[in-house]
């Protein structure tokens, strides 16, 4: 048994407090990672508050983990003690269904989340199936890698499955933890990128992330139209959005791609969807193949999150700032 020092909530919406537990040796396919840093994601907040009615307490948050391999299971051959790895939302899957075999493990019926029924990365150590511990490119700093592993892969996979490529015109609704990463990936990949934001003060910020245009837009109240129709519009907003005008802003065969949580029911007008053969899709995180690709792309093209660092001992301050929507744009807890 390995003694682990963690930060846990004992009840919904309660502050985190020190929490110790014993971790068993890894399973044959498992790996134990010594945590160096861990990003804080909106899903941690939803889990802390038990918004999805699946939280178990004591609850140890954290699913944007960066660390060093401490111990490998007997059957693990691709990782060694000392490797620097990242772990995101997913900790295991069945390994043998069609989705798993094609590297789309996040779609597996038996996919398991790191922080559902399992302790997350606000701790000295985490344990996962070794397939979900990803070796990190040397060029990506430890404190930058965490947010790529949930926020980054969420927007990257959604954009890839919506057909992103050089020269495409991409709209991003919302400039927050997910949105700023979407803008950075899309612009780095050679797209013309337009931000839709409800905050006039974020128009200037959009350019700093590489956006080519930014439009103040609240549901159907838009400051103006984009200069051309968009091939992809990615919704990263956490508040409900009226999509009517966005569907009309799509080019023929354009895709409205939805990520994040809290969308509730998606209502889109049928006629403009059909007339231009537009599509609506929603996308969860991404599988192992897409995560590896995303890390290579981030490394090669220099895509990084904008982070605010907090010592792990100040996890509650980070949660408070996230709850107040004041984080620019991803909080990362360091040890
Ligand atoms: Zn997340
Ligand atoms: Zn599977």
d(CA 305, CA 321): 17
Query: Are 278 and 291 in a shared domain?
Result: no
Give the Å distance between the CA of 112 and the centre of ligand 2.
10
Cis before residue 263, ω within 30 degrees of 0? no
CA of 294 from ligand 2 middle (Å) equals 21
155 lies in a domain?
Answer: no
Domain that holds residue 51: 2-150+286-334
User: How does pLDDT run along the chain (335 residues), one tens digit per residue?
Assistant: 999 999 999 999 999 999 999 999 999 999 999 999 999 999 999 999 999 999 999 999 999 999 999 999 999 999 999 999 999 999 999 999 999 999 999 999 999 999 999 999 999 999 999 999 999 999 999 999 999 999 999 999 999 999 999 999 999 999 999 999 999 999 999 999 999 999 999 999 999 999 999 999 998 899 999 999 999 999 999 888 999 999 999 999 999 999 977 657 889 999 999 999 999 999 999 999 999 999 999 999 999 999 999 999 999 999 999 999 999 999 999 99
Strand partners, 17: 8
Ligand nearest to the CA of 95: 2
- Nearest ligand to the C-alpha of residue 103? 2
Q: Are residues 101 and 144 in the same domain?
A: yes
CA 225 – ligand 1 centroid, Å: 32
Ligand that comes closest to the CA of residue 261: 1
Residues 146 and 257 in one domain: no
Ligand closest to Cα of 178 equals 1
Do 12 and 136 belong to one domain? yes
Within this chain, do residues 45 and 174 fall inside the same structural domain, yes or no? no
Q: How many distinct structural domains can be found in the chain?
A: 2
Interval between CA 91 and ligand 1 midpoint (Å): 13
Same domain assignment for residues 119 and 258 = no
Q: Are residues 126 and 60 in the same domain?
A: yes
- Ligand 1 geometric centre to CA of 40 (Å): 7
CATH code for the domain in which residue 109 is found = 3.90.180.10
Residue 242 sits in a domain whose CATH number is: 3.40.50.720
Shared domain check, 204 and 119: no
Q: Is 62 a domain residue?
A: yes
The runs of H, that is alpha helices, within 239-324 are 244-249, 270-275, 288-301, 315-323
Residues 292 and 144 occupy one common structural domain: yes
d(CA 249, CA 228): 8
C-alpha to C-alpha distance for 120 and 172, rounded to whole angstroms: 30
Centroid of ligand 2 to alpha carbon of 92 (angstroms): 9
* Ligand with smallest separation from the Cα of 65: 1
């Amino acid at each position: 048994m390995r003694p682990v020092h963690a930060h846990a909530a004992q009840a919904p919406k309660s502050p985190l407090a020190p929490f110790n537990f014993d971790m068993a040796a890894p399973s044959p396919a498992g790996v134990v990672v010594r945590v160096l840093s861990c990003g804080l994601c909106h899903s941690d907040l939803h889990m802390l508050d038990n918004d999805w009615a699946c939280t178990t307490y004591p609850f140890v948050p954290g699913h944007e983990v960066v660390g060093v391999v401490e111990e490998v299971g007997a059957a693990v051959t691709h990782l060694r003690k000392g490797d620097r790895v990242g772990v995101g939302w997913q900790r295991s899957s069945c390994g043998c269904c069609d989705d798993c075999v094609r590297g789309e493990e996040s779609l597996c019926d038996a996919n398991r989340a790191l922080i559902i029924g399992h302790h997350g990365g606000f701790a000295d150590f985490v344990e996962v199936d070794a397939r979900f511990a990803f070796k990190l490119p040397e060029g990506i700093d430890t404190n930058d890698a965490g947010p790529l592993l949930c926020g980054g892969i969420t927007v990257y996979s959604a954009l890839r499955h919506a057909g992103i490529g050089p020269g495409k015109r991409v709209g991003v609704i919302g400039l927050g933890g997910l949105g700023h990463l979407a803008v950075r990936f899309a612009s780095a990949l050679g797209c013309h990128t337009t931000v839709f934001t409800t905050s006039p003060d974020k128009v200037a910020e959009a350019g700093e992330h590489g956006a080519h245009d930014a439009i103040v837009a609240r549901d159907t109240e838009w400051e103006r139209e984009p200069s051309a129709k968009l091939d992809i519009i990615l919704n990263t907003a956490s508040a409900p959005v009226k999509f009517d005008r966005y569907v009309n802003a799509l080019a023929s065969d354009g895709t409205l791609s939805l990520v994040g949580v809290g969308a509730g029911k998606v209502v889109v007008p049928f006629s403009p969807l059909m007339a231009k053969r537009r599509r609506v899709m929603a996308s969860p995180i991404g599988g192992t193949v897409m995560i590896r690709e995303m890390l290579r792309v981030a490394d090669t093209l220099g895509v990084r999150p904008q982070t605010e660092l907090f010592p792990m001992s100040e996890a509650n301050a980070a949660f408070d700032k996230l709850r107040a929507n004041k984080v620019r744009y991803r909080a990362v807890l360091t040890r």
